Structure formats: structure tokens, C-alpha cells
Amino acid sequence: MSELAGNVLVGQSGGPTSVINSSVAGIIAEALNHACIEEIYGALNGVLGILQEDLIDLAAESQQQIRALRHTPGAALGTCRYKLKKTQDFERVLEVFKAHNIRYFFYIGGNDSQDTADKISKLAQQQGYELRVIGVPKTIDNDLAVTDHCPGYGSAIKYLATAVREAACDNEAMGQGDLVQIVESMGRSAGWIAAGASLAKRRDHPHDPPHLILLPEIPFNQDKVIEDVRRVLKRERFCLIVVAEGLVDADGNYMAADAATDAFGHARLGGAGDALGEIIEANIPGVKVRVARPGLLQRAGAHSASKTDVDEAFLAGQAAVRAAIGGETDKMVTLLRGDGDHYTCETGLAPLSEIANGVKKLPRDWINEDNVSMNFQFLRYAQPLVQGEITLPYDSGVPVFARLDKVRIDKTLPPYET
Amino acid sequence: MSELAGNVLVGQSGGPTSVINSSVAGIIAEALNHACIEEIYGALNGVLGILQEDLIDLAAESQQQIRALRHTPGAALGTCRYKLKKTQDFERVLEVFKAHNIRYFFYIGGNDSQDTADKISKLAQQQGYELRVIGVPKTIDNDLAVTDHCPGYGSAIKYLATAVREAACDNEAMGQGDLVQIVESMGRSAGWIAAGASLAKRRDHPHDPPHLILLPEIPFNQDKVIEDVRRVLKRERFCLIVVAEGLVDADGNYMAADAATDAFGHARLGGAGDALGEIIEANIPGVKVRVARPGLLQRAGAHSASKTDVDEAFLAGQAAVRAAIGGETDKMVTLLRGDGDHYTCETGLAPLSEIANGVKKLPRDWINEDNVSMNFQFLRYAQPLVQGEITLPYDSGVPVFARLDKVRIDKTLPPYET
């Protein structure tokens, strides 16, 4: 394996998670082990920062701040939902890479981001510019192909399951046969997150909240849901429903009233909970509906992150560097679950193109026949991902997070219009 | 002081908090110290349980469960928003008390509940039935008169300040001059909770999020808010707004679209954030609004409770028992802040009638002249209330809460129609 000397560039893309910065910390920590890596740069706001040559010197950050990245939510380098489209954009990226002798590019993101990384990698190959591109998985949506699960997912569902168990204590105290609590979860096209709320149930207590989980995989059936709610209200005196923001009706239309779209053409959602609440109030006389929509607090809730998730995100960052140093390129780090009864997790590699073009669906046979709860296969899958708590530093009663100095690298190219 | 032998009855009322069960634990723990207390009963669902003679034997609960109450959200005895109205109701309460030799009644709740306790106490006096009634303050709204602050408030604002600081990390990563994040806080008629979000700012960083706090005390001024948002977007690239659910317009009408009322005639809210978001989107072209409405997760978030709050709630419960044993009645326990620079807190007593008829408003002069941020007087007041974290027991990655056995006391009276 030829040793490739040069600089590292790290970028973050798409929606942040509680642990995406832990992957940055893993990359930096591992990069320090390798003498062939000269400088460690960060791209501000993902590919946007590359196009605009907005690079920062990550080696200039204090070690305390890098350590603090392990528990800091958001995306410390900034992120974007900008999609490279024009050939010109990709050429500009390579121009910037060449100008700063970037030989290692680590891109932390979901499938749109891995697609971008793939294209950058291929263009570099075409141009004969030696570049090693390794993607690091990230998404609370847990929908990346090949990898067993995605960093960010475990913390998101730990947040949700905790919220549901706490809300249930409140609801149980208030419920007099007429209380319907709706918790709207994130999850645009798949029910991975909403399904995770089932971890709030105690083992062997199938009647524990959440009583109903409404997944995007199961088109909304009003009559059945109303019947389910009535039955649960009678049995439990309150009914706690987790509804994914991406719930669709029988025609495949989003239940949420307002469905604008983002730069990738994805519907921007929020409101499935309210829409559901109105339907229930209109159909069950006297019922009181309460809707909690924690929104992005689900993906930013670092104070209740899963230690397993934080550690795996860090591990994925380290593995990306090791793979690149070992000569790999055009791959994404994957998480591989061991076969044994006791949960273990190692990293692997998969071609970026496979990630870019695949989507991992919530297996239909992990959903119970009642369509509103998850079976043991899902629980066996999800339970290990939420294990362990982290200890955050607090100052004056509020968690303290990393704040990078973001020392800018001098620009050497003319400006670029995005 | 004559020693009064008899049984204790504890009830919880109104909306739960993260720490209302800690007061129950304090009452039980202290009651065990006094031989004149024979039995310790709980009323299920507050006064409703008393009317229906639904009493449970708290002495039959394991000590582990009572200890676990210290960190369990919700109201473990159940609660209600039922308001005693008829003379007949009050007479029934006394009938139940006499039937079970209740000589100590501890009622944990807000001002409606203290009003109820006051009326029960006065009727007992009229009838010559020796009864000691002590209220224990509880409300995340922090609006009880006389007491420096209310158990439940510190944990609610710690939850909110943490959420805001975390959301800000996410927003900062995503913001490109067009992102408006709205976090809707609880707080029906006063801005105490929304104001608490200001604890998310670092000391001496007035530009830290939350950038705007919209309080019920300041009628919504659309032109000013739009101007404020534009200014913040320019300066910070994102704008994080905390809006109280009880925000009103210039005519005093709630901004929330849907304003049904509860049993006490209070408006039931939810939606001020969405209403605000629509106004901002309509007035600032190209802006992206995200709304998080954690709803009752704010008052149920035991996993991020303030240790100070948990401890003070327990202390208030203990103090209620000591006061009653000492011969006091018709009083509520208050929290008294020491005069020194270092925060200290002791308990005091105030007549129930004073609590029932008073409301503590957020002082106008604690709000900065900009109307959207809090000054040092508020911070000095609120900061000590969120100090310290608690360590919850976790099982399989989710917090474990108390579950009472709720062993019923035999009914001895005929049923009662409520």
C-alpha cells in the first residue's frame, strides 16, 4: 500500500444528529496517529464550504474542544442541504482540493451526501488526482443501505422512548378515559424512529405505552385508528399514540396539512400529529387530545444520548481514517453487528454507490399484525442501540457544548458563485 | 401543643410536574417519624378519589418504590382538575375523612387546589372536626403567591433551557440567514417558564439563543417581531424564538388558533408557535420556519430534572408534616430564599387563603426594555433553581420510574355521585 501524504478534509452534511460531532472527533483523534496526514481541515457547511473555499484548521482547535465534540449536538462544522448538480460544481470541488492538497476527504452524512462523495471520488479518478474518499454514515432516519444501523439513530430513539415513558407517567395521572396524548416523531419516509418508541414498553408488558404507533409504512386507516383509540381508552383510561411525521393516507398523501419541499425534493413535514388529533377529536365525542411535537429536539437531545451511539459514531470516524490510510477509497464505513447473543459491533466498508442508491426499509415483518406495534425482532434489533448514558459537563445547570474557534484557512482561489 | 392521633391523607391535584412525587416521598418519609400518625393513605386522583372513597395504603408500598418517587414524573397518586363546587361535595369530603379517621390532610397543588384545601379546612373547623390541613406548593407555572418559587418550576425551565441550547447547536449548523426556529413553551397566563429559557444564554453573551422570548406579559406586536427576526437573521444567520403558549395579541386574545377551555375556565392552549410561524413565513420571504412544541414533555422531563428542585419538593413535603404535627393547619408550605449571596432555601408557612386568592406575576422590571429578553434580576432569581443533576436508574436504556401497588382501603360509605 502506497503511503499517501497530504491533508485531510472533513465535512458534515444534511440534518445534524446528537452524535455527528462524535464522528468528527473520531476522525481527528485517529488522524493524529498518522504521520502522512499533514493538516486536518474542516469544510464549513459541507459542500457549500468547499465550493466557497471556506475551510477551517481543525488542528488549531484545543484538545478540550475536540473531546467536547463527542457530546455536542448539531454539526460543529456547519452543514447544508445543498446538492451539487452542475459538472462545474464538481470541478470546483476538485480545484479546491488541489489548491489545498486535500488527499483525504471524509464526508459524514446520509445517502444524498454519500452520493455526492461518490461523484467527487469518481471525478478525481477520471482526472488522475489521487484522493481517498470515505463516507461516514449519519442519520437519525436509519435508512442507509448495507450498514446494520446508522450513528444518530440510537440517540434519537432513546430520546423518544424516554419522552414517551415520561409522558405516560403524566398521562396516567391525568387520564380519566378521555385523554389522548399524541407524540409526533421525526421520520419522513420510514418508521424507524417512531418504531423506536416501542422501547418505552417494559419487557412483557405489551399494553404499556405507546399504545399505538402509526408508521409511514402503514397507510392511515381512520376507522381502525378510531376503533383502536376507543379500545385503549376503555382499557387504560388514556391513549398514547406515537405518530411519524411522514404518516400517509390510503392514497399515499402526507397527513400533515403543510407539505412544502426541501432542496432535494423531499416534503418538509410537521403537523401529522395535529392532523391526527383533529380527526380523533371529531370522531370521539368528549375526548381531550394533547399533541407534543418535539421536532428537532429529538435529533439534538445530546443530554440523553445513547452511549452506545456516541461510541459507535466515534468508532466510525476512526475507522474512516484507518480505511483511507490503508488505501481504501470510494467507500462508506458501515456498522456490522456480531452474530452472538451478546451485542457487538464492528466496522466494515461498502461502496459509496451502493449506499447512494439504496434505502433500508423497516422490515414489514417486524411490525405486529395489529399494525400499531413492533414485534420481538424489532426490539432485539433496537434495544442494544440505546444502551448506556453519557455524563455531560454542566455549567450553571445547563449542559456545556464544544465551540470551535474555526480558524480560517487562507483562500487561494477566485470566488465561486453557487 | 396537643398531640393529634390519627391517619394521614395525601392528595395530588392539577397538572403534574417532574417533582410532585418527590413531595409525596417527603411526606411519607417524615410521617414515619411520628408515632401519632397511624396510617398513611393516598387519595387517588385528588379530590375525586376522596369523594369516591378511592383511598390507597401508602404504608403498604415498598421503601424502594417510595424512594423511586423522588425521581418519577407524573402524579403517582393520580390527579384531577375537578373543582369541588357544591356544599354537598365538601360535606362528603369530611364524611370520608371521618370514616377513615383522617386527621392530617396534605394537598399538593397549585392555587385552585389550595383554595379547595382551604375550604375543606374551614368546613372541618365549623363542624368541630379536628383536622390539620397543610398545602404543599406545586406548579411549573411558578405563579403561587407568597412562596419565593414553586417546586416543579426549576425542572421545567432546566428542561427548556437545555432544549434551547441543544436546538441552537442544530440551528447554528443549518442556518444560512433564513432559518427561524420556534420553541413553544408552556405557560398559560404568565411568562415564568418562557423567561426561564434565557438560562440557555452563556453569562455575558446576550446575543446567545434564545434570541427572542415572547412572553404573555407583552402583547404581540407583529411589526416589531418581524423587525427583530430580520435583524437577528442578519446577525446570527438563524433566529431562535421561545414563545409562551399564552402569547396574546394587542386585544388580549390568545394567538393560538384553538382556545378551548378546561374545567376551571382556563383556556386550553397549544398552537401559539404555529400561529407565530405562519406570520413570520408570510412576512419574511424565503424564510424557513421550524416549530418545536414539546408540550407536556416539559413538565414530565424527570430525566433532566433540577436536583435543587427535586430536593426542595421533598423538603416541602417533610415540612408540611412537621408543621401539622406542630399544630399548624390551614396553611401552605412556602419556600423562602435566604438573603445572602449564596443561595439558600428554607421553608415557611402562609395561610391557604392568601395562596388561593393571589397570583405571583413575573415582575415587569425583570424584562429588558427590548421586551424580548430577561435582565440580571431574573437570572439571579432563576439560576439557582436549575442547579444540579440527578442520576436516574436506567433499565435497557430507558429510565425506570416508581410504580405503586395502590393497595385499596376498604370503602365504608355508600357510593357518591360526582
Write out pLDDT tens, residues B225-252: 999 999 999 999 999 999 999 999 999 9
Answer whether A21's CB lies under 8 Å from A68's CB.
no
Look at residue B418 in the predicted model and tell me its pLDDT: 79
Categorize the per-residue pLDDT at B281 as very low, low, confident or very high, splitting at 50, 70 and 90. Answer: very high
pLDDT at A260 over 60: no
Whole-angstrom Cα distance, residue B219 to residue B242?
A: 15
For chain A, give the mean pLDDT.
94
Per-residue model confidence (pLDDT) at position B260: 47
Answer yes or no: are the C-beta atoms of A46 and A113 closer than 8 Å: yes
Long-range CB contacts (< 8 A, 24+ apart) of A360-369? Answer: A360/A142, A360/A143, A360/A144, A360/A145, A360/A146, A360/A147, A360/A190, A361/A143, A361/A190, A361/A217, A362/A190, A362/A191, A362/A192, A362/A195, A362/A215, A362/A217, A364/A217, A366/A195, A367/A195, A367/A215, A367/A217, A367/A218
Question: In this complex, do A203 and B15 lie within 8 Å of one another by their Cβ atoms?
Answer: no
Q: Which residues of A touch B51 (CB under 8 A)?
A: none
Planar angle of CA A127, A129, A132, nearest 5 degrees? 125
pLDDT at B261 over 90: no
Instruction: Work out the average pLDDT over A150-172.
Output: 98
In degrees and rounded to multiples of 5, residue A18 shows phi and psi of -65, -20
- Sign, CA dihedral B45-B50-B54-B57, equals positive
Q: Of A113-117, B304-308, B355-359, where does mean pLDDT reach its minimum?
A: B355-359
Q: What is the mean pLDDT of residues A362-380?
A: 97
Distances (CA, A) of A7 to A119, A125, A127: 20, 18, 19
pLDDT above 90: percentage of residues in chain A: 90
Closest residue to B386, CB basis, from A158, A165, A397: A397
pTM: 0.96
User: Which among A52, A140, A169, A241 is the top mutation candidate for probing chain B, defined by the most B β-carbons within 10 Å of its own β-carbon?
Assistant: A169
Residue given cell 465535512 in the structure block: A11
Best of A71, A174, A400 to substitute, by most chain B Cβ atoms within 10 angstroms, is A174
Give chain B's length.
418
B185 vs B242: CA distance, rounded Å: 7
Question: Among partner residues B296, B306, B397, which is closest to A387 by beta-carbon distance?
Answer: B397
Residue A306, min C-alpha distance to chain B (Å):
8
The answer, yes or no, to whether residue B366 has pLDDT greater than 50, is: yes
Among B398, B403, B404, pick the best mutation site for testing chain A contact (most A Cβ within 10 A): B398
pLDDT at B259 over 90: no
Strand ranges, E, within A154-237:
179-185, 212-214
Residue B165: Cβ within 10 Å count: 26
- The reply to whether residue A293 touches residue B291, judged by beta carbons under 8 angstroms, is yes
Contact residues, chain B, for A394 at CB < 8 Å: 389
B273 contacts: CB under 8 Å, gap ≥ 6? B182, B183, B184, B243, B245, B291, B292, B293
Catalytic residues of B: 141
Average pLDDT over residues B349-360: 94
Instruction: Name the minimum distance, in Å, from the CA of B167 to any CA of chain A.
Output: 6
DSSP state of B6: E
How many C-alpha atoms does A60 have within 13 Å on its Cβ side? 11
Taking a C-beta distance cutoff of 8 angstroms, is the pair B195, B213 a contact? yes
The pLDDT assigned to B258 comes to 52
Query: Do B387 and A397 count as a contact with CB atoms less than 8 A apart?
Result: yes
Task: Give the pLDDT of residue B188.
Answer: 85
Which of B291, B297, B394 to mutate: most A Cβ within 10 Å? Answer: B297
Q: Which of A112, A141, A143, A330 is catalytic?
A: A141
CB contact under 8 A, A73 and B16: no
- Number of Cβ within 10 Å of residue A338's Cβ equals 11
Contact list in B for residue A173 (CB cut-off 8 A) is: 12, 16, 74-79
pLDDT recorded at residue A418: 79
Residue A85 has pLDDT above 60, yes or no: yes
Taking only the tens place, the pLDDT of each residue in B49-97 is 999 999 999 999 999 999 999 999 999 999 998 889 899 999 999 999 9
Cross-chain Cβ contact B158/A397 below 8 Å:
yes
Nearest-CA residue of chain A relative to B172? A78
Report which of B82, B84, B135, B138 is spatially closest to residue B107, judged by C-alpha positions. B135
Q: Does the beta-carbon distance from B296 to A167 stay under 8 Å?
A: yes
Residues in A closer than 8 angstroms to B176, CB to CB, are 45, 80
**Could you say which of B72, B290, B306 has the minimum Cβ distance to residue A169?**
B72
Question: Hey, are the CB atoms on A166 and B297 less than 8 Å from each other?
Answer: yes
CA torsion A102→A45→A19→B389, rounded to 10°?
130
- Minimum distance, in Å, between the CA of residue B241 and any CA atom of chain A: 14
All 3 cell numbers of residue B276? 407565530
d(Cα B386, Cα B304) in Å, to the nearest integer?
Answer: 10
Please indicate whether, in this complex, the C-beta atoms of A15 and B174 are within 8 angstroms of each other: yes
Q: What is the pLDDT of residue B2?
A: 66
CA distance B327 to chain A (A): 31
Mean pLDDT of B312-341: 97
Please tell me which of the candidates A72, A169, A383 has its beta carbon nearest to residue B300. A169
Contact B303 A166 (CB under 8 A): yes
Q: What is the pLDDT of residue B202?
A: 96
Return the minimum-mean-pLDDT range out of A267-271, B353-357, B389-393, B404-408: A267-271
Average pLDDT, integer, range B93-113? 97
Residue B255 has pLDDT above 90, yes or no: no
pLDDT of residue B229: 98
**C-alpha cell of B71?**
425521581
Contact B301 A166 (CB under 8 A): yes
User: Residue A83: pLDDT band by 50, 70, 90 thresholds?
Assistant: confident
Question: Nearest by CB to B199, which of A200, A293, A398?
Answer: A398
Q: Do A45 and B176 touch (CB under 8 A)?
A: yes
Q: The cell 393516507 sits on which residue?
A: A249
**B113 contacts on A by Cβ (under 8 Å):** none
Nearest-angstrom CA–CA distance, A375 and A361: 16
Q: Order of strands, edge to edge, in the sheet holding B132-137? A: B55-57, B37-43, B6-12, B102-109, B132-137, B331-337, B345-351
Contacts of A386 in chain B (CB under 8 A): 396-398
Mean predicted confidence (pLDDT) in B135-145: 97
